[in-house]
Structure 1
Amino acid sequence: MSAVAVPGSGGRGRAKAAPALRIGTAGWSIDKRYADGLPAPGSNLERYARRLNAVEINSSFRRRHKPSTYERWASSVPEEFRFSVKLPEEITHDRGLVGCDEILKIFAAETAGLGSKLGTWLIQLPPKLAFDAKTFDSFFDLVNGCSDAMVAIEPRNATWFTEEVESRLIERRIARVAADPARVLGSGEPGGWRGLAYFRWHGSPRMYYSDYDRQALFSLGRRLESARLWGAETWCIFDNTAAGAALGNALEIS
């Protein structure tokens, strides 16, 4: 990691290497402020992937992409690069995880185009969606049958932050996202399955816009390193993209 990270956090002296630390942004737009650090030639994605090792595809939330599109994206990045893909709005927000069999199967078939570079499915839930055990079990039975991708869930309703839900997430090997700003008590810390830690930094105090200063990035860097050293593959995605701050933050902390 860069100067904002924890000093002395390398792997020297450990018998086993720590899991991957993946830093990226929601999408791969290149703000002109950072273009010189991501030089041509190549597409924006190719240039982005020379400096960062992960990206979150948010466009899948609103619209479908062909398998060939995912295949093209996968072919544009190095072998060690990974994609996280956000589940469609129709599944999470419109249907509330109910009656999604065909839609989810289609999504799985499309994202399979990423091949070995598919890292994570991101499931962001609407604030109104309360936890329901029957819905949870039915939906994640289907998820487990559709894809081998890791799963990170970002609930935004207080009913998801209980010991019962935590146990279910661990049993299902589902990570709960750590979000900033934390909209619900407990949502600022990673939870669920400890094999994956997924941080989504949306911009604070103004969501999607605010830039994180050097001190905030240093603090975040310590948290990422701590998660990685407990044995989790650790993702950090900056979603403060509206004014172009995300890329700068990712580059500084990577």
Structure 2
Amino acid sequence: MGAPHLYIGCAGWGIGRELAAEFPGDGTHLQRYALRLSGVEINSSFYRPHRRTTYERWAQAVPRDFRFSVKVPKVITHERRLAGCETELDTFLEQCSGLGERLGCLLVQLPPSLAYDEAVARVFFKQLRDRFSGSVVLEPRHSSWVNAQPLLTTWQIAQAAVDPSRIKTDGAPRGAPGTQYWRLHGSPRIYHSPYGPDYLKNLAMQLRTVEAEHVWCIFDNTASGAALVDALTLSDWLEA
């Protein structure tokens, strides 16, 4: 296996005034962001739909090797709870396919109340795989999903490594081995705390040795602006 494709970025591409100098040049925040970082996670798709033309515009704004991870809508994961959602799935995939080759991954984040039901999960993953052949990453947050590993392997679904950890199997990437995905929310204060240099150096060393085709590290500690700093630091160390 050759060197993995590394996608380092944040949950969103907003650039605060205090970091504007790190993203020089003209253009939109996305255009400037994509000149420094290699990937981004679209979280807004979880809350509301976007037109296909919006995704197309985003794809045209970034370099050819930049990739988007797109969060599956909550109507599928939290309201339908993975069941009876073929229509919603078709609508979502038609929209985000506007990203074309820059669509790097789908993120399926589950609510903490959603326990593992093998029959429901099998049907959902089959429906998803009938429609989408690219990378899919699951972020379960109910402890019963520790039993899902065989099904994830069957349907080539990766499981995210999450910090802070929610269940005993999310401390490291699991599931299908082709994609590994770190989703870092900030610790000890979730969504706010930055990751210190020791953590980021150790993470960079770990990412350099990963045996996977696609490797993602997304910082979701965006509430106080730490995510961009952490992503830039990690990206610089990986490039050094």
Give the conservation status (yes or no) of the 8 Å contact 2:70–2:106.
yes
Residues 74-104 of structure 1: CA distance to partner in whole angstroms, max 9, x if unpaired?
Answer: 0000000000000001111111101101000
Superposed, 1:116-127 pairs within 5 Å as: 116-127=101-112
Does 1:231 pair with 2:212?
yes
Q: CA deviation at 1:34?
A: 1.8
Structure 1: runs of 5 or more not aligned: 1-15
Could you state the TM-score of these two structures normalised by the residue count of structure 1?
Answer: 0.90
- Across the aligned residues of Structure 1 and Structure 2, the Cα RMSD in angstroms comes to 1.0
Report how many aligned residue pairs link the two structures: 235
Superposed, 1:66-85 pairs within 5 Å as: 66-85=51-70
Q: CA deviation at 1:195?
A: 0.4
Does 1:197 pair with 2:180?
yes
Aligned to 1:143: 128
Aligned to 1:249: 230
Could you state the TM-score of these two structures normalised by the residue count of structure 2?
Answer: 0.95
Give the conservation status (yes or no) of the 8 Å contact 1:156–1:184.
yes
Residues 225-246 of structure 1: CA distance to partner in whole angstroms, max 9, x if unpaired?
Answer: 232xx23411000000011110
Aligned to 2:35: 50
Structure 2: runs of 5 or more not aligned: 236-240
Aligned to 2:93: 108
CA distance in 2, matches of 1:74, 1:83: 9
- Structure number with greater CO (CA < 8 Å, separation at least 6) is 1
Superposed, 1:13-32 pairs within 5 Å as: 17-32=2-17
Aligned to 1:206: 189
Q: Which amino acid aligns with 2:215?
A: T
Superposed, 1:142-221 pairs within 5 Å as: 142-162=127-147, 165-221=148-204
Q: CA deviation at 1:32?
A: 2.0
Bigger mean CA offset, 53-62 vs 230-239: 230-239
Structure 1 SS opposite 2:19: helix
Superposed, 1:91-102 pairs within 5 Å as: 91-102=76-87
Aligned to 1:222: 205
Give the conservation status (yes or no) of the 8 Å contact 1:122–1:153.
yes
CA distance in 1, matches of 2:205, 2:159: 19
Q: CA deviation at 1:158?
A: 0.8
CA distance in 2, matches of 1:92, 1:223: 31
Structure 2 SS opposite 1:161: helix
Bigger mean CA offset, 168-177 vs 57-66: 168-177
